[in-house]
């Protein structure tokens, strides 16, 4: 059994947290991960209205009595506004969810300091996903409870500082007093053990959870992740100031070609739209939309249940930590 400040803070069995996944981090997967002893995630951006968002929290609570977290992504978006962010925060405080993963702008800037106080009063733990020491220091200063240190390997939107997980984790561990969780490049027990050895108190992963029985994507997507290699993701979106890491495919190559020619948002947005991505996950066409995944796909070799995945990772991490211990002469 691995005990860290994260397992203690939330009373969970494994220091393994699911990251935000637009379209995919929804109640059935969230509850499966929490029931397996990790920390599930509901990504608030999936819900346009307060009713839908509350319904998702209630649905998850019917499926699990274990803690889970909510992600609030405060990045530039056509669909999700500041009013949505305020609504998400108020509902999380009212529903007293276990914790919030914020990405993009920190909450004091996205919605205001008063909402950080509201969440703290409700007992909701606050974590910010950052890609730099300076952003970690800011989050600690305004009262966050922990940091997700996300390296350039991660799927989604890594910070354009482009620092890898291996460097970012110890840098942030050395810079803040609150617990740090490693994000990016994590998919098995060895990478969990490595993160703990770098000073982290847990890991967050997202791509690995797509290739599980409970993730509601088409089976062809899961097969694709098992078959693809660690070098088959790429960064795109740099020219519009919002870089993303996705599976290398036809549409991402088209996007990169448009960016290289100096094409603007009006050409790019139709290729990157949320509906296109949602349809691709559901229908299993791996070429028609940017599918955000990290380099961690190189470590995915099977499609287990969440319970089997976490059990295997926990055992492998313990074996790895013991092996390191036994190396001491």
Ligand X SMILES: Cc1cc2nc3c(=O)[nH]c(=O)nc-3n(C[C@H](O)[C@H](O)[C@H](O)COP(=O)(O)O)c2cc1C
Distances (CA, A) of 38 to 17, 20, 29, 33, 179: 6, 14, 11, 5, 17
CA nearest to 188, candidates 26, 270, 300: 300
CB of 178 to ligand X, least distance (A): 18
Nearer Cβ to ligand X (48/322)? 48
- Write out the two tokens for 245: 């890491």
Nearer Cβ to ligand X (66/245)? 245
CB of 158 to ligand X, least distance (A): 8
CB 59 within 8 A of CB 75: no
Nearer Cβ to ligand X (176/183)? 183
Nearer Cβ to ligand X (85/129)? 129
CB of 262 to ligand X, least distance (A): 27
CB of 87 to ligand X, least distance (A): 17
- Write out the two tokens for 7: 């397992």
CB 101 within 8 A of CB 181: no
CB of 208 to ligand X, least distance (A): 6
Nearer Cβ to ligand X (263/304)? 304
Backbone angles phi, psi at 105, to 5 degrees: -65, 140
Binding residues vs ligand X (CB under 6 A): 19-22, 24, 43, 45, 71, 73, 103, 129, 150, 154-156, 183-184, 186, 205-208, 292-294, 296
CB of 192 to ligand X, least distance (A): 12
> Which residue number places its CB atom closest to ligand X?
294
Specify the residue for token string 């290289």. 260
Nearer Cβ to ligand X (16/118)? 16
Q: What is the CA radius of gyration of the chain?
A: 19
Q: How far is CA 68 from the centre of its chain?
A: 13
Specify the residue for token string 């354009």. 160
């Amino acid at each position: 059994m691995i005990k860290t400040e994260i397992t203690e803070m939330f009373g969970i069995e494994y220091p393994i947290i699911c990251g935000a996944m637009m379209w995919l981090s929804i109640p059935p997967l969230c509850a499966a991960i929490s029931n397996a002893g990790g920390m599930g995630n509901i990504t608030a951006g999936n819900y346009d209205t307060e009713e839908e968002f509350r319904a998702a929290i209630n649905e998850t609570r019917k499926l699990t009595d274990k803690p889970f977290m909510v992600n609030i992504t405060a990045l530039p978006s056509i669909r999700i506004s500041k009013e949505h962010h305020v609504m998400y925060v108020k509902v999380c405080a009212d529903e007293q969810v276990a914790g919030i993963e914020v990405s993009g702008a920190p909450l004091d800037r996205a919605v205001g300091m008063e909402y950080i106080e509201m969440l703290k009063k409700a007992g909701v733990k606050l974590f910010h996903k950052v890609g730099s020491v300076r952003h970690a220091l800011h989050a600690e200063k305004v009262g966050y409870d922990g940091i997700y240190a996300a390296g350039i390997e991660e799927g989604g939107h890594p910070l354009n500082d482009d620092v890898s997980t291996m460097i970012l984790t110890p840098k942030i561990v050395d810079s803040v007093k609150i617990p740090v969780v490693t994000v990016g490049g994590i998919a098995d027990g060895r990478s969990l053990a490595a993160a703990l050895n770098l000073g982290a108190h847990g890991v967050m992963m997202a791509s690995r959870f797509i290739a599980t029985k409970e993730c509601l994507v088409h089976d062809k997507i899961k097969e694709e992740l098992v078959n693809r290699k660690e070098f088959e993701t790429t960064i795109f979106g740099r020219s519009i100031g919002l870089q993303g890491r996705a599976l290398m495919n036809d549409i991402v190559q088209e996007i990169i070609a448009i960016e290289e020619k100096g094409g603007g948002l009006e050409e790019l947005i139709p290729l990157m739209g949320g509906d296109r991505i949602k349809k691709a996950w559901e229908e299993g066409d791996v070429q028609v939309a940017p599918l955000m995944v990290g380099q961690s796909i190189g470590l995915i070799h099977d499609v287990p249940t969440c319970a089997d995945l976490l059990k295997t990772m926990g055992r492998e991490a313990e074996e790895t930590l013991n092996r390191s211990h036994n190396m001491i002469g």
